[in-house]
Amino acid sequence: MPRRAMKDLGFQACCLRCDAKDVAGSDRCRSCITHHKKVRDLIAKAPQSDELFQLARDLLAMAASPNRYDHDEAHGPVLREQQRLANSMAETKPLPSSEDIGQVFAEQAKRDKTSVVQTIGNQNPWKNQLPPEDVLERMADTLEMEDIEHGVRTIPSRPIASVDRSDRLGEDRKMVDKIEAERAASNVVEPLKEVVESATIAQRQRDRAGWEDAQSEVSELLDDDLDL
């Protein structure tokens, strides 16, 4: 079985393909864990602009979460094989019986389904009937109305300041990239979050650059047609 330390480092694929005896704490295990910890730290601290280490980040992200990248044309078959190996070593859980399912429904039926909103609403003395006329008149007197062209609207209790949108130049791509990177790294272990986030941001930047290049080429083709 993959060692917990190797899984945390994102190198559980090595354990799945290891030909050593499955003995925890062996010299072989300690040697791999020590070596791969140095590799992981080296990748995490490497410059973001280094293409070689960016490739290493991408490969480490794939090895750590193969289910996210098994559609990749080049690495998909290997990543699917990694998942097959992992599933073959996992304990098989028996399917729930009809008695188990019935017990779940019975426990849910015993739970208190009242909500806070419903509880507060039940305290309203007029929940089943309208208030007296004098109460309705006092409620109406507290509302200030203003005539407008197509009906009436309630006057706000205080002025609402207008919003200055002059500094909103469009989508904040760095912020969007950061959010998507955090989402992609949300299911990985803490030691790998920084690596997965960096790989995701770099991939989004490459995809965006490729799209902009394609747009530029299309624009040039259209311009050439217009010149003709």
What pLDDT is attached to residue 151? 54
pLDDT at 100 over 70: yes
Q: Is 23 in a helix, a strand, or coil? A: coil
Closest by CA position to 86, among listed 135, 15, 155: 15
Residues of 3-12 as b/e, b for ≥16 C-beta within 10 angstroms?
A: bebbbbbbbb
What pLDDT is attached to residue 197? 83
Contact between 185 and 192 (Cβ < 8 Å)? yes
Distance in angstroms (rounded) separating the CA atoms of residues 45 and 64: 18
Cβ neighbours around 76 below 10 Å, total? 14
Query: Among the ranges 15-19, 101-105, 219-223, which has the highest mean pLDDT value?
Result: 15-19
Distance in angstroms (rounded) separating the CA atoms of residues 126 and 134: 14
Q: Which carries the bigger pLDDT value, residue 82 or residue 90?
A: 82
Is the backbone of residue 25 left (phi > 0), alpha (psi -120 to 50) or beta? left
Domain boundaries, the chain: 4-90+173-227
- Residues 168-188: what's their mean pLDDT? 76
pLDDT band at 225 (very low <50, low <70, confident <90, very high): low
Q: Give tens-digit pLDDT for 189-205.
A: 777 778 788 888 888 88
